[in-house]
Chain A
C-alpha cells in the first residue's frame, strides 16, 4: 500500500503550492476586509476572525492534498505517483486557479448557482487533463512546475506555525 503513495519529499512541494493558493486567497480577502474590521472590532476580535480563517485554510489544504493522495492510490503509479510534484502542482494550480476565477467572476448568491457551476468545472477538468498530458511532454512546463513548487516551500515555515497558533486560539475561544 505504501508504494501507492509518493514520497514525503514529493508531497511537501505540492502541499506548499496548495497552501500558498488557499491561504493566499484568504489573506487577500482578509486584508480587503481588515480596514473595515479595525473600525468596528478590537484587535483581539480581528485576530479571532483571522484564526477561524486560518483554521478553515488548514482543513481545506488537508482536503486537497488528501484528494491528490487518494488519486495516487487509485490511479496506476505512472499517471500521478511517479510524477507527483509536477503533475500534482499542475492539477492544484489549474483547479484552484479555476475556483478563484469563478469566485471572482461569479460571486453572489443565485439559486441556479449549483447548475451554473457544472459546465465551468467540466471545462476545468478537461483543461487539467490537457496540461497533465503537456507537462510530461514539454520540458519547460515541467521545470516551471518543479521550480514553483520548490520555491513555495518557504511559505510553509510561516503557514504551519501560524496554523498551530490559530487552531489554539480557536480552541481557547470556544472553551467553557
Chain B
C-alpha cells in the first residue's frame, strides 16, 4: 500500500508550517496589536500646546508664516476654522476639554481649580474606556492636578516634571501616593504659584521657594542655543528644552506603539506659553516683515503696557510658535516614519489662546476676545490624505463626544457637546457656543463676577458681569464682517441684541440655579 503523502510532500508541508509559525511569532513579537488584529481600534494621539491662539497661526490665515508644519498637517487633516475654547486659561480650558462640559458646569473656574467631584468620574479617560491603554502627560501643573483627579482612569501618568532640566523639583512626585501628595505639597504646603503664593508650610515652604528659585535662576542661563534663557514653566518655575520634551514624546509614542496598541496618548505641552524663549534658530524670525498689527482701542482692564510693548511681545510669541511648530514637525515626522498615520487619529488643539492687543498681554484677564478663545483644532483620521475644511462653529466640549465615538463607545448621558462634523457629526450653523471666564468667582456660588461669550451664527455676544466700572455690559460683534471685533454693534443697533441677550442670560441663569438653591 502506498503512503498517502510522499516524503517530499511531507518535507514541503513541514517547511510551510515552520515558515508560517515563524512569521506569526515575528508578527506577534514585533508588531503592535492593532497591526496583527485588523478589528482593533485606531490609536489616538492627542497633542495640546498650551496658550496657542488660532489668530496667530498661519494655517488659520495669520500673515506671518508661524506654522509651516501645521500647514503640512492640514493637507491630510480636517481643519476646524471656527473652533472655540470653553475657557480662557488652563484650568477652565483643559477641564472643558477633558469633561466635555462648560466651566459653569464642571466648576474648574479658578486658577488651579479642580472639577466638581460629582462629575469627575466621567472624564475623557474613563469614557474612552479600558479597551485603550490610556497615557497622559502634561507640563502644566494646572492641567496635571486635573489628571491627578482622574488617576483611576489613566494607565500611565507621567510626572509633570518629566523631560525637564531638573526633574526633581516637585515634592509630590517623590511620593508613591502622587495624586494626593501633589495636592498637599505643590498646591498647598510648598505653593509656588503667583497667586496667592502663600505656602501652607511656614518654614519649609519659604525655604523651598527661596532655594528653588535661586537654583532655577542659576542654571537657566548658559545654554548657547537659548540666548534668552531656557524655556521655563511659570507655574512652578521649572526649566526645560523644547527639543528634549519633544524627543521624550517620540520615545513615549514609540513605546506605546510597540507595547500597548490601541493606545490613547494625551500630551499637553507648556510652550508657547510665556515667557517666550525661542531657541537661536528662531530668534530673528519676522524681523523685517511688513506685518503691522491693527491698532485697537485700549481696554478698560488692560495690562498697563504700551502698544509698542504689546507688539514686541506679539513678535516674540510668533517666533516661539514657529519654534514649537518646528518641534511638532519632528514629532509628526516620527509618527509618519512609524506608519502611525495609517492607524491613528492625530489630534492637535490648544486649551486657550493669548492676547496681544488692546493694551492686554497674556490670558489672565476678564476678556474673551477672539485671540483668547479662538483656538486651533486639526484632526487627521487614519489614512486620511486630503484636506477637509469645516467652517461651522465648534467648541472644545465637542472633542470628548467625538473621541468617545472614535473609541466605539457611547456617552453615558446626552451632554451638550456634539460629535464633530466630518467625524460622524453634522454641521449646525444655528448652534450657540459659549466661553466662560470666572477666575475670581467662587466655584461654589452662582457666577456673579464673570464674562460670558456666546457665538451664534455670524454674531458674538460678550457679557461682562460684576466688574468695577464694567458691570452688566454687553458687546456685540459680527464676526463674518468684523473678525477683529472693532465695531461694537450695540450702540448702533440695540435691536440686534434682544434674542441673543435673552438666550445668554437664560443659559447663565440655568447654570447658576443649582448654586442658588444651596445658598
Question: What is the CB-to-nearest-CB distance from B218 to chain A, in angstroms, rounded to a whole number?
Answer: 10
Contact with A along B219-236 (1 / 0, CB 8 A): 000000000000000100
Majority secondary structure of chain B interface residues (helix, strand, loop or mixed): loop
Chain B residues whose CB sits within 8 angstroms of the CB of A29 once the complex forms: 188, 198, 200
Judge whether B443 and A174 touch: CB under 8 Å.
no
Residue in A closest to B232 when the chains form the complex, CB atoms = A111
Query: Is A173 an interface residue, CB under 8 A from the partner?
Result: yes
Judge whether A108 and B443 touch: CB under 8 Å.
no
The one of A35, A37, A108 in contact with B193, judged by C-beta atoms closer than 8 angstroms, is A108
Query: Is A104 an interface residue, CB under 8 A from the partner?
Result: yes
| A-B residue pair count with CB separations less than 8 angstroms | 130
The one of B115, B198, B217 in contact with A107, judged by C-beta atoms closer than 8 angstroms, is B198
Residue in A closest to B202 when the chains form the complex, CB atoms = A25
The one of B107, B197, B198, B201 in contact with A56, judged by C-beta atoms closer than 8 angstroms, is B201
Q: Could you say which of A38-46, A73-81, A82-90 contacts chain B?
A: A38-46
Judge whether B206 and A103 touch: CB under 8 Å.
yes
Judge whether A107 and B117 touch: CB under 8 Å.
no
Chain B residues whose CB sits within 8 angstroms of the CB of A35 once the complex forms: 444
Bound form: Cα–Cα A102–B205 in Å: 12
Judge whether A102 and B183 touch: CB under 8 Å.
no
Majority secondary structure of chain A interface residues (helix, strand, loop or mixed): helix
In chain B, positions 310-340 with a C-beta closer than 8 Å to chain A are none
Judge whether A96 and B202 touch: CB under 8 Å.
yes
Judge whether A99 and B203 touch: CB under 8 Å.
yes
Bound form: Cα–Cα A91–B70 in Å: 61
Bound form: Cα–Cα A7–B482 in Å: 79
Chain A residues whose CB sits within 8 angstroms of the CB of B192 once the complex forms: 109
| A36-B443 contact given A22-B203, A48-B177, CB 8 Å threshold | yes
The one of B183, B197, B201, B203 in contact with A49, judged by C-beta atoms closer than 8 angstroms, is B183
Residue in B closest to A27 when the chains form the complex, CB atoms = B200
Residue in A closest to B200 when the chains form the complex, CB atoms = A29
The one of B115, B175, B444 in contact with A174, judged by C-beta atoms closer than 8 angstroms, is B175
Query: Is A60 an interface residue, CB under 8 A from the partner?
Result: yes
In chain A, positions 16-42 with a C-beta closer than 8 Å to chain B are 21-22, 25-26, 29-30, 33, 35-37, 39-42
Bound form: Cα–Cα A140–B179 in Å: 50
Chain B residues whose CB sits within 8 angstroms of the CB of A25 once the complex forms: 200-202
Interface size class of A (residues with CB under 8 A): 35 or more
Query: Is B210 an interface residue, CB under 8 A from the partner?
Result: yes
Can you sample 18 A-B contacts with CB below 8 Å?
Answer: A25-B201, A25-B202, A26-B189, A39-B107, A40-B115, A40-B149, A45-B180, A48-B180, A49-B180, A49-B188, A56-B201, A102-B206, A103-B206, A108-B196, A113-B209, A114-B210, A173-B177, A174-B177
| B binding-site residues for A, Cβ under 8 Å | 107, 110, 113-117, 120, 149, 175-177, 179-181, 183-185, 188-189, 191-206, 209-210, 213-214, 216-217, 234, 237, 443-444
Please give 13 more A-B residue pairs, beta carbons under 8 A apart, in addition to A52-B181, A109-B213: A21-B202, A25-B200, A29-B200, A30-B200, A45-B180, A49-B188, A53-B184, A53-B200, A56-B189, A104-B198, A111-B216, A170-B177, A173-B176
